[in-house]
Chains A and B, each alone.
Chain A
Amino acid sequence: GAVVSQHPSWVICKSGTSVKIECRSLDFQATTMFWYRQFPKQSLMLMATSNEGSKATYEQGVEKDKFLINHASLTLSTLTVTSAHPEDSSFYICSARPRTGGGTDTQYFGPGTRLTVL
């Protein structure tokens, strides 16, 4: 149980284009979803927190107009990187917190999306 998927697993795009990453909780409903960014050999950096039906809360230093988050349902959140540039190249990981049942304090992570901007 508690499976989270991400799509795509990797993407290469040209500078200036937009890229959408999907995060789905497959076997549970998620009250809250989180988006992280991870640089090589570093720990996770929280970008934003989103609750279903509400606007996302962005961490300090994260541009909300560049990283658009839509938490459309209790099982789906999307991250759109708009007008991507090479410095946006990174490993993006989402996580989801179950709505009910045991372990509602626990975040379950997706497999991550490797974004490379040329």
Chain B
Amino acid sequence: EDQVTQSPEALRLQEGESSSLNCSYTVSGLRGLFWYRQDPGKGPEFLFTLYSAGEEKEKERLKATLTKKESFLHITAPKPEDSATYLCAVGPRDSNYQLIWGAGTKLIIKP
């Protein structure tokens, strides 16, 4: 069964304290792994798409990496405005571009 598990559920960091969010997945053929950021009361904002193991992508203080079993979202020297829920999703190759979603990690950056 295709499945996505994100950990931790919540993470509280001090401003400037770097850390990583984990997304573990099992899927019968990976079309892509997707990271989104969601602020309260808003739709998810696209961050990254990763397609194959070993791939890495960066955007400002965020860096996403991918292995055959998991993905990490590394946050370097975070700022309070990075506070949000980060969602991970995988696209099985045999789906109609539908995504399997993780429950998300709520990140809180304290000033």
Contact = CB atoms under 8 A, between A and B. Distances in A.
Contacts of A67: none
B46 A44 contact: no
A111 B43 contact: yes
Interface in A42-75: 42-44, 46, 49, 57
Interface residues of B, number: 22
B45 interface: yes
Contacts, number: 55
B91 interface: yes
B108 interface: no
Given A44-B87, A106-B46, A108-B46, A57 B96 contact: yes
B97 A32 contact: yes
A116 B41 CA distance: 14
A19 interface: no
B15 to A, nearest CB: 24
A111 B39 CA distance: 10
Contacts of B97: 32, 49, 97, 105, 107
Interface of A: 2, 4, 6, 32, 34, 42-44, 46, 49, 57, 91, 93, 95, 97, 103, 105-112, 114
For the complex of A and B, the 10 pairs showing the least CB-CB separation, nearest first, are A109-B43, A112-B43, A105-B32, A109-B44, A93-B43, A43-B101, A111-B43, A43-B103, A106-B49, A110-B43
Interface of B: 31-32, 34, 36, 41-46, 49, 51, 87, 91, 96-99, 101-104
Given A49-B96, A105-B32, A107-B46, 16 more contacts: A4-B43, A43-B101, A43-B103, A44-B44, A44-B101, A46-B98, A46-B99, A57-B96, A91-B41, A93-B44, A105-B51, A106-B32, A106-B46, A109-B36, A110-B43, A111-B42
